[in-house]
Structure 1
Amino acid sequence: MRRDMRITKEPLVMIIPMIDIMLFLLVFFMISTIYMVQTNTVQVALPQAAAAKMETRPNIVPITVTQRGDVLFDKDELPNQEIEQKVRDALAADADTVFVLRGDAQADYEDVVHVLDILKRAGTRHVSIATETKR
């Protein structure tokens, strides 16, 4: 049997399944990064605010003030007294570090202001206060 070399079949590029896969990956990564900051921190009851939005910068360090007034830096489980030094170290590594202050709704205002004072003395430029969206 001889082949006719004049008849050639062009390969088909199926782009629809590739678009489906890319959209699935996009949605997966969007959803997985939304909760990244909250899953790496100690759970506290955040106050509610109508204009709450998620911080999306790359280098975010959460600082948590618990109901008892304990201050937890990043993923620490125990209260820390060297908060200012840890803030300075984080700023030395990256000057554009964003510090997210997560104060419990029942925490004393004085404790939250104390942490803000520490952040100011350390020379931070980016501080956000974490809240939950009002329902």
Structure 2
Amino acid sequence: MKLKRSRQARRGKIEIIPMIDVMFFLLATFMLASLSMQRLDSMKIELPGGQAQQLNLDTPLTLTVTRTNAIFVNRQPVQLAALAGDLRPLLKPDGNLVVAADDAASHGVVVKAMLEARKAGVQHFLIAVHHE
């Protein structure tokens, strides 16, 4: 007995749901792999020394924080509370301020001084480092 075969060729089906599952699995795998390839210690900083470009400014406005957390603007002593008021008349149109902080200066004092300078209208901070 001979079975009849249909003369129409069966077309294969592409199931989309398993393909979506595979794509999500590959996406998750590559995301995790890329996270493990990223170097977490990629920012190596040496304060106060480092490699930097020479800055050519004619008499830049300089904010200095000493080892004892004393604050100076262009070598003149200033109190933190009065910093914004003292900086406003000295600020140049470009809004740049060079920040030179001692290695032993408190990070909090430097940040507070920068926030006060921002209130005075400073637009850009340039961090001074010891050129090695």
Instruction: Pick the aligned partner of 1:122 from 120, 123, 128.
Output: 120
The structure 1 segments of at least 4 consecutive aligned residues displaced by more than 3 Å after TM superposition are 78-81
Instruction: Kindly provide the amino acid, as one letter, of the partner of residue 80 in structure 1.
Output: Q
Q: Which residue of the partner structure matches residue 72 of structure 1?
A: 72
Question: CA 1:63–1:47 in 2, change beyond 3 Å: closer, same or farther?
Answer: same
Between the aligned partners of 1:59 and 1:109, the Cα distance in structure 2 is: 26
1:97 offset after TM fit, Å?
4.4
Contact 1:60 1:97 in 2 (8 A): no
1:58 offset after TM fit, Å?
2.8
TM-score (structure 2 length as normaliser): 0.57
Between the aligned partners of 1:65 and 1:112, the Cα distance in structure 2 is: 7
Gaps of 5+ in 1: 1-45
1:48 aligned onto 2:46: no
1:1-135 mapped onto 2 (5 Å cutoff): 47-50=48-51, 52-76=52-76, 78-81=77-80, 82-91=82-91, 94-134=92-132
Question: CA 1:62–1:84 in 2, change beyond 3 Å: closer, same or farther?
Answer: same
TM-score (structure 1 length as normaliser): 0.56
Contact 1:59 1:96 in 2 (8 A): no
Q: Which residue of the partner structure matches residue 15 of structure 2?
A: none
Instruction: Kindly provide the amino acid, as one letter, of the partner of residue 97 in structure 2.
Output: F
Between the aligned partners of 2:53 and 2:113, the Cα distance in structure 1 is: 21
Instruction: Kindly provide the amino acid, as one letter, of the partner of residue 121 in structure 1.
Output: K
Larger Rg: 2
Between the aligned partners of 2:109 and 2:121, the Cα distance in structure 1 is: 19
- The SS at the match of 2:115 is helix
1:126 offset after TM fit, Å?
2.5
- The SS at the match of 1:60 is coil
Contact 2:64 2:75 in 1 (8 A): no
Between the aligned partners of 1:48 and 1:98, the Cα distance in structure 2 is: 21
Between the aligned partners of 1:111 and 1:71, the Cα distance in structure 2 is: 9
Question: CA 1:86–1:79 in 2, change beyond 3 Å: closer, same or farther?
Answer: closer
Percent identical among aligned pairs is: 22
Gaps of 5+ in 2: 1-46
